[in-house]
Structure 1
Amino acid sequence: MSRPSPPQPEPLIRSKLVGRLELARDGTLSGFVYSPHAPERRFTVEILLDGLVFTTIYADLFVPELAEQGLQATCGFAVTIEPDLLRAARTLEARLANLGTPVGQPVDLESDRASLIDLHQRCELCWLGGLRFQGWIDSETALFLEAIVDGKAVAHVHATAWTHIGEAAAHRNVRAFEFHVPQRFADGRVHRVSLRREDGEQIPATAVFVAFADGLAGMIDALGGYDAECLRGKLYDQLIPASLPLVDYVNWRDRFPLPVPRDSTLSLAVVIAGAAGAAQTLAALEAQTHENWTAGAMEGEPLSVDSDALLEFLDGAASDSHHVVIAMAGVVLEPNALARIAAAFDAYPGAIALYGDLDFIADGRLWPLAFPAFDYERMLEQGYCAHLFAVRRSALLASLETRPDNLYRLFNCLLDHTGPREDNILHLPGTLATLPKLDRTNAIYQLATASQMHLEARGVRADVIPQQGNLFPAVRIARAIAPQRVTVVVPTRDRLPLLRTCLDSIAPAVERCRADILVVDNDSAAPDTLAYLADLARRGVRTLRVEGPFNFARLNNQAAATLDTDVLCLLNNDIEASCDDWLEEMLRRLAEPDVGAVGALLIWPGGVVQHGGVVLGMNFAATHAFTDRFVDDPGFLDQLLVAHECSAVTAACLATRRSDYLDVGGMDEARFAVAFNDVDYCLRLRQAGKRIVFTPHSKLVHAESASRGADDRADRRGRFERELNLLRARWGEWLNEDPNYNPQLSRDGIPYSGLAWPPGPRPPRYKHLAQARDVPLGF
């Protein structure tokens, strides 16, 4: 009996594929692989040196020559190979991964006929969701482009900013741009967008997009009768959110008005601090929808408080008011401001104080001051919540015993005896008023005095150093540090130049803090690396050998288990210190007992921000903030000028107590071996009642992923997606509503760079953390 013939694989016949492979003299290997019969198909390509697989790469780059023929053109690839490897090899070739099909012709490295042509990426255009796009173009000069949708010019694009691309030695700064196309394209249809220069030359980058007015869930709800699809629409909007430009804020406010607050019988006392601008504030009070209020204005300089006059007002005209609104003179209240404040106190009877978002006017245009839920560290260094706030009468009377003389002190004295508690201060998302221009020179002095007095009242020894602010005043809090044992933990595997630079650059800070260093060696094999590691003991640097596949969480867990130290400073081996006080600054933040982790400002070698804290929920994930800014940019509402709280910080440079690390079980090495282990760790600290602080006063250079490579490589993409899905499963509630981010701000692309369309839920909120939802291993 004859056996049946084995099934033949579908012929991915070589004649069906069009491909090319070429090598440039700068070591860039480039090419493309295109299937005429399946033009949408994308391939993973193996690069081989002398028949051995050197690396794999996903072929999805733009190919100009295919685009000129009207073909699907995103099937190219490019990779830079170190010159030493090329000189040691004879042949270089590419094949389809797992299939062995050659791509193009092999390159004879022993000849001198290497091509000068390459497909190295010179620009990129990315759809962020909705009507928003961002990208970059490799140009030394600013460019002015046109956005083309379905063949018609619809918007001007200014490539005047900077961003960072590339890895390790190939990194470079390039011109960046960001734009929205008009709202008429939010019609649920598929559109194609491209770019061209002012002279009409086409830019080799395109993107396809589809957008829905007010989101897919909103469209489904408006159509009605599709309840079964609501969940699908909600998930789509989480993964592909939409935004509008910040410059459209006035129209956005009109389109998404705040819910009408419930009627309240609360009697409110309104205190106006300062003489200049008091008439404006009083005029706005006359238009309030909540009618049960009494107002009094205190004479004096802007931001000043007369405690005696305030007590007299409370005992007299406002004797029957159980809640007091404190406003800086010149604040123009929204007509429903008092109604929202009263309704919030009704709904949250345990709240002792509340504050809300504000607006301000610049160049004749209205802009949003969109704040987080209560941020103690930012209150100390910026006083952001003290220009308009409301407080329970009993709490105010108790605080007046300290005789505060300005608004910053009047607010922070509420916390003199409780410290950085956050569970009884409410934040009201959505503007309560328009803020007048601040006299920052006077405000800085008043804030510095107030923060110093508050810390002294708490028994915290600290220097308060005035800083230069942009929108708000700014100070720097330098707490005293108690003697403690500190160990800097540096995982590494070969890549000796990175490790040597890291250890040499951090040495002054380590010596300044009398800290130790532990290098965790994960299977280094290069002889020069092994010799260097063996010599570290002579320099007083400990080493710990940990074998096995790279698992960042496991390396740090084993280090923590081995050490007997008070503080761990987790540090990547591709970090280079740019100052000598970075570690001291982080330890000063960690001096507060309720701070669980401290993160630093990390920048690319070219000066672009790489990490300014972590924001949750961007495209239903976790994203570094301010990666669209240069290091000297103040950031949204001056957040790159002052320390503030985040939901998470990166473990590329993270200080934490070893006791806290062990109490929450360290990093989750089973679920988050490489990505998001730091985010998950910080969120578990938050769940344990700890604060996470980001400080821009600690600044280091980070060549991110120079050691291990990027997570979007084809051979790592599956692992990264699994870890991302586990993060979503465990922390989905916080990804939906990060209390350290404002629900009115965009959740596509880079944080703080647009308005959410539509906005997230905007009820009053505490800084509470929803419980994690554990996922059993294997799921």
Structure 2
Amino acid sequence: MSRLSRQPSERTIRPKLVSRLELARDGTLSGFVYDAQEPERRYSIEILLDGLVFSTTYADAFVPELAEQAHQASCGFAITIEPDLLRAARTLEARLANLGTPVGQSVNLESEGANRADLRKTCQLRWLGGLHFQGWIDSDSALFLEAIVDGEAVAQVNATAWTHVGEAAAHRNARAFDFHAPRRFADGRVHRVSLRREDGEPIPSTAVFVAFPDGLAGMIDALGGYGAERLRGQLYDQLIPASLPFSDYVNWCDRFPLPMPRASGLSLAVVVAGAPGAEQTLAALSIQTHESWTAGVIDGELLSVDSDALLEFLDSAASDSHHVVIAMAGVVLEPNALARIAAAFDAYPEAIALYGDLDFLAEDGRLWPLAFPAFDYERMLEQGYCAHLFAVRRDALLAGLETRPDNLYRLFNCLLDHAGPREDNILHLPGALATLPNLDRTYASRLLAAASQMHLDARAVSADVTPQQVNLFPAVRIGRAIPHQRVTVVIPTRDGLPLLRTCIDSIAPAVEFCRADILVVDNDSVDPKTIAYLAGLARRGVRTLRVEGPFNFARLNNHAAATLDSDVLCLLNNDIEASSKDWLEEMLTRLAEPDVGAVGALLTWPGGVVQHGGVVLGMNFAATHAFTDRFGDDPGFLDQLLVAHECSAVTAACLATRRRDYLAVGGMDESRFAIAFNDVDYCLRLRQAGKRIVFTPHAKLVHAESASRGRDDRADRRGRFEHELNLLRARWGEWLNEDPAYNPQLSRDGIPYSGLAWPPGPRAPRYNHLESARDVPLGF
């Protein structure tokens, strides 16, 4: 009889681990682990307190002390543990998930020597696609770094901005940087980039990248004969987009000129409003490529309009013109501006008005892009962004002139006195039509305030309009009267008592001021202190609703909406903290417009860096928070953090919506978007139903994002997150590709509004609406 014996195989050989584990004074547990025989392998780590697993993480962070060992440097991890948990436990240890192999030495929490070195990441360098890079470095002061590509110094990098890094209690502000490698490296070859300080000391972080001239699809076209591969190139460009810095705008315009407009026989009347600067505008008219036009100057102050003089001009010199171009005196038109306007009206004869992007000439003579969204009613009211140069159909202008407008802002918004805010017949032309001159923004703000007040009065909307802080543009704040309604703030939670208590206590003044209610949706809390706290909330007039089962953010909110009979729901995360009592009132005043479906707030990290400034679609073919590279008091790109404006979506960490609208679109999709993107999907379905989504920076709160449930990029959650992202792409792919609230000339990598798209997206005239969503059956 032969005897069989089991021989050891490579799969049963235990890894030869090199590891370390340290606990810092701030509760950060950090360490590294790698296999000396397979240094490129990465591990999932389980963290245990007194032998019980309470957290998992993934060891792929950069470890400075291992920087010279190329295959082993990115094998670190760091998590922050609540002080209460550390005080209640005796031992802290880490091990490889599913294998049980210890990582480093366990920590005796009862020993004074437990607090040792801190192995947290001190810097990060990320490739965003194309030639665009982003990162951060721990530093209290601004740093000036040097970018090195393949050993060659190629660019100066200023780490002068701010960002937010870390997790939970270890959140901290760090110096942020953003730069582009020179265009000569867009050659389709693999390159390595690194950084060093001014004194030559290397920064322990590197990135590998590959970029193609004008994108891979463009390179395939240039080579020719590879038509079958173009789809692959388009997908690559979509998932790994490229960009250039705003400072390269003039060269970018030369590289990507606007398409030539079709010839048009349309006769245009051109009205130059105001005397100061009129000569500049007339000089630009003399070199227009469009031939059929008649111009007149309406004397007066800057931005002023004489309705009688305008009517006289239309009746006499411009009697045969069916479309009228209105330009602020001093605007310098591009040579093809009138040709583009005429071609747009030919292609969209139903359009009542249009406006285009502009350029801004800085004092040092450099040109910067003023890249606008498709028509944004809320931003028009608070910024008047589209009124400095626009074109309008003659019949619509004559109807508007019956209101006797006396400035450009009123001349534009009078077109909407009877049409309402969801006017779909206003076109936006991406790409600069002209260069905007300097203007007195404070004076312009007073004119805008009066114009917006008159327009709202004409619509019978009760509101107060007040001038605000200005930067590039005028700015006002609209405060609409809030109708009598029942409002409930809905807060899902699971344990996390310190967060929940802070949230409820901080929002209490706003809730009381608005006579709102609070409903806490408890999802299987087990902590005795949390259960006792929830039981005592009834004495404070706070309702609770228990929903059992796995955490599903969409399902918790759906249960709340089905239970309540309120008019308005304010969805709120339990890691939100309010610092004023007017944030809820501000959101409700935006929701006072019947066509507004959801309202979002400006959320910052505890350190003041923006966490949510609205959602932009299409960044890396996904959905991204805007302005996360700014502090909360920054004006933002084109002053968008100074005025309310429309977005395609806002975060449900703080979102106000009508309950009837919520139920009408089926609430949140708890089957497809249990955790991530349920708010984006909900907002897009509201938009598809004809509703506007408004973001207001006038409502400002603090959000310790993911403090209650952890981050979505954890190893044990990445699969679920990627699945929900793929579902978002499948359902809303066209919206992700062409966000009407974002300009196609702006970058689609990294943080929104941080650069120029390379190449730009489609720059055809566009309305503020898109195609319908695709149906994605469950299981796909």
TM-score greater than 0.5 by the shorter chain: yes
Q: Which amino acid aligns with 2:461?
A: V
Deviation at 1:380, TM superposition (A): 0.5
2:206 is equivalent to residue 188 of structure 1? no
Q: Partner residue of 1:596?
A: 597
Q: Partner residue of 1:532?
A: 533
Q: Partner residue of 2:635?
A: 634
Which stretch of the first structure deviates more once superposed, 32-41 or 278-287? Answer: 32-41
Q: Secondary structure at the match of 1:45?
A: strand
Q: Secondary structure at the match of 2:467?
A: strand
The alignment's TM-score, normalised by the length of structure 2, stands at 0.97
Question: Per the alignment, do residues 689 and 3 of structure 1 end up closer, same or farther by CA in structure 2, a change over 3 Å counting?
Answer: farther
How far apart, in 2, do the equivalents of 1:345 and 1:214 lie?
31
How far apart, in 2, do the equivalents of 1:468 and 1:437 lie?
17
Question: Per the alignment, do residues 696 and 4 of structure 1 end up closer, same or farther by CA in structure 2, a change over 3 Å counting?
Answer: farther
Q: Partner residue of 1:358?
A: 358
RMSD of Structure 2 on Structure 1 (CA): 1.6
Q: Secondary structure at the match of 2:325?
A: strand
2:733 is equivalent to residue 732 of structure 1? yes
In the TM superposition, what whole-angstrom CA distance separates every residue of 1:218-273 from its partner, at most 9, and x where no partner exists? 11221122222222211111111100000110000010000000000000000000
Deviation at 1:193, TM superposition (A): 1.2
2:197 is equivalent to residue 200 of structure 1? no
2:168 is equivalent to residue 168 of structure 1? yes
How far apart, in 2, do the equivalents of 1:594 and 1:535 lie?
39
Contact 2:15 2:37 in 1 (8 A): no
How far apart, in 2, do the equivalents of 1:412 and 1:731 lie?
32
Contact 1:686 1:769 in 2 (8 A): no
Q: Secondary structure at the match of 2:588?
A: helix
In the TM superposition, what whole-angstrom CA distance separates every residue of 1:711-751 from its partner, at most 9, and x where no partner exists? 11111111111111100000000000000000000011110
Deviation at 1:167, TM superposition (A): 2.8
How far apart, in 2, do the equivalents of 1:353 and 1:549 lie?
51
In the TM superposition, what whole-angstrom CA distance separates every residue of 1:321-370 from its partner, at most 9, and x where no partner exists? 11100000000000000000000000001100000000011121000000
Report matched runs for 1:195-594 at 5 Å.
195-362=195-362, 363-594=364-595
How far apart, in 2, do the equivalents of 1:89 and 1:513 lie?
43
Which stretch of the first structure deviates more once superposed, 13-22 or 634-643? Answer: 13-22
Contact 2:422 2:595 in 1 (8 A): no
Deviation at 1:16, TM superposition (A): 3.7
Contact 1:381 1:643 in 2 (8 A): yes
Q: Which amino acid aligns with 1:317?
A: A
How far apart, in 2, do the equivalents of 1:720 and 1:3 lie?
50
Contact 1:306 1:405 in 2 (8 A): yes
2:137 is equivalent to residue 131 of structure 1? no
How far apart, in 1, do the equivalents of 2:643 and 2:333 lie?
27
Q: Which amino acid aligns with 2:596?
A: V
Which stretch of the first structure deviates more once superposed, 142-151 or 717-726? Answer: 142-151
In the TM superposition, what whole-angstrom CA distance separates every residue of 1:453-482 from its partner, at most 9, and x where no partner exists? 111111111111111211111111111111
Q: Which amino acid aligns with 2:203?
A: I
Q: Secondary structure at the match of 2:535?
A: helix
In the TM superposition, what whole-angstrom CA distance separates every residue of 1:268-296 from its partner, at most 9, and x where no partner exists? 00000000111110110111000110000
Q: Secondary structure at the match of 2:103?
A: coil
Which stretch of the first structure deviates more once superposed, 420-429 or 676-685? Answer: 420-429
Contact 2:79 2:167 in 1 (8 A): no
Q: Secondary structure at the match of 1:217?
A: helix
How far apart, in 1, do the equivalents of 2:91 and 2:494 lie?
28
Q: Partner residue of 2:78?
A: 78
Q: Partner residue of 2:143?
A: 143
Contact 2:497 2:530 in 1 (8 A): yes
Q: Secondary structure at the match of 1:532?
A: helix
In the TM superposition, what whole-angstrom CA distance separates every residue of 1:15-48 from its partner, at most 9, and x where no partner exists? 5433333334443322222234443322211222
In the TM superposition, what whole-angstrom CA distance separates every residue of 1:670-695 from its partner, at most 9, and x where no partner exists? 00011100000000000000000001
Q: Which amino acid aligns with 1:484?
A: Q
Q: Secondary structure at the match of 2:104?
A: coil
Contact 1:331 1:434 in 2 (8 A): yes
Question: Per the alignment, do residues 511 and 708 of structure 1 end up closer, same or farther by CA in structure 2, a change over 3 Å counting?
Answer: same
Which stretch of the first structure deviates more once superposed, 530-539 or 344-353? Answer: 530-539
Q: Which amino acid aligns with 1:31?
A: G
How far apart, in 1, do the equivalents of 2:70 and 2:771 lie?
51
Deviation at 1:84, TM superposition (A): 4.0
Contact 2:442 2:470 in 1 (8 A): no
Q: Partner residue of 1:654?
A: 655
Q: Which amino acid aligns with 1:691?
A: R
Deviation at 1:4, TM superposition (A): 7.5
The alignment's TM-score, normalised by the length of structure 1, stands at 0.98
Question: Per the alignment, do residues 216 and 7 of structure 1 end up closer, same or farther by CA in structure 2, a change over 3 Å counting?
Answer: farther
How far apart, in 2, do the equivalents of 1:120 and 1:104 lie?
16
How far apart, in 2, do the equivalents of 1:645 and 1:2 lie?
79
Q: Which amino acid aligns with 1:187?
A: D
Deviation at 1:659, TM superposition (A): 0.3
How far apart, in 2, do the equivalents of 1:308 and 1:45 lie?
76
How far apart, in 2, do the equivalents of 1:6 and 1:132 lie?
53
Question: Per the alignment, do residues 494 and 334 of structure 1 end up closer, same or farther by CA in structure 2, a change over 3 Å counting?
Answer: same
How far apart, in 1, do the equivalents of 2:383 and 2:280 lie?
25
Deviation at 1:512, TM superposition (A): 1.0
Question: Per the alignment, do residues 591 and 5 of structure 1 end up closer, same or farther by CA in structure 2, a change over 3 Å counting?
Answer: farther
Q: Partner residue of 1:772?
A: 773
Question: Per the alignment, do residues 198 and 410 of structure 1 end up closer, same or farther by CA in structure 2, a change over 3 Å counting?
Answer: same
Q: Secondary structure at the match of 2:746?
A: coil
Q: Which amino acid aligns with 1:82?
A: E
How many residues matched? 779
Contact 1:30 1:119 in 2 (8 A): yes
Question: Per the alignment, do residues 517 and 86 of structure 1 end up closer, same or farther by CA in structure 2, a change over 3 Å counting?
Answer: closer
Q: Partner residue of 1:50?
A: 50
Q: Secondary structure at the match of 2:454?
A: helix
2:763 is equivalent to residue 762 of structure 1? yes
Question: Per the alignment, do residues 84 and 693 of structure 1 end up closer, same or farther by CA in structure 2, a change over 3 Å counting?
Answer: closer
Deviation at 1:49, TM superposition (A): 2.8
Deviation at 1:83, TM superposition (A): 4.0
Contact 1:408 1:447 in 2 (8 A): yes
How far apart, in 2, do the equivalents of 1:3 and 1:685 lie?
71
Gaps of 5+ in 1: none
How far apart, in 1, do the equivalents of 2:285 and 2:296 lie?
11
Question: Per the alignment, do residues 381 and 27 of structure 1 end up closer, same or farther by CA in structure 2, a change over 3 Å counting?
Answer: closer
Question: Per the alignment, do residues 2 and 122 of structure 1 end up closer, same or farther by CA in structure 2, a change over 3 Å counting?
Answer: same
In the TM superposition, what whole-angstrom CA distance separates every residue of 1:423-469 from its partner, at most 9, and x where no partner exists? 10000000000010111122111111111111111111111111121
Contact 1:415 1:421 in 2 (8 A): no
How far apart, in 1, do the equivalents of 2:16 and 2:512 lie?
63
Contact 1:167 1:703 in 2 (8 A): no
Contact 1:599 1:649 in 2 (8 A): yes
Deviation at 1:13, TM superposition (A): 3.5
Q: Which amino acid aligns with 1:695?
A: T
How far apart, in 2, do the equivalents of 1:115 and 1:453 lie?
65
Contact 2:676 2:724 in 1 (8 A): yes
Which stretch of the first structure deviates more once superposed, 8-17 or 45-54? Answer: 8-17
In the TM superposition, what whole-angstrom CA distance separates every residue of 1:564-594 from its partner, at most 9, and x where no partner exists? 0110111111111111111111111111110
Question: Per the alignment, do residues 567 and 116 of structure 1 end up closer, same or farther by CA in structure 2, a change over 3 Å counting?
Answer: same
Q: Which amino acid aligns with 1:126?
A: R
Gaps of 5+ in 2: none
How far apart, in 2, do the equivalents of 1:7 and 1:380 lie?
77
Deviation at 1:558, TM superposition (A): 0.3
Contact 2:354 2:427 in 1 (8 A): yes
2:626 is equivalent to residue 625 of structure 1? yes
Question: Per the alignment, do residues 564 and 293 of structure 1 end up closer, same or farther by CA in structure 2, a change over 3 Å counting?
Answer: same
How far apart, in 1, do the equivalents of 2:232 and 2:249 lie?
29
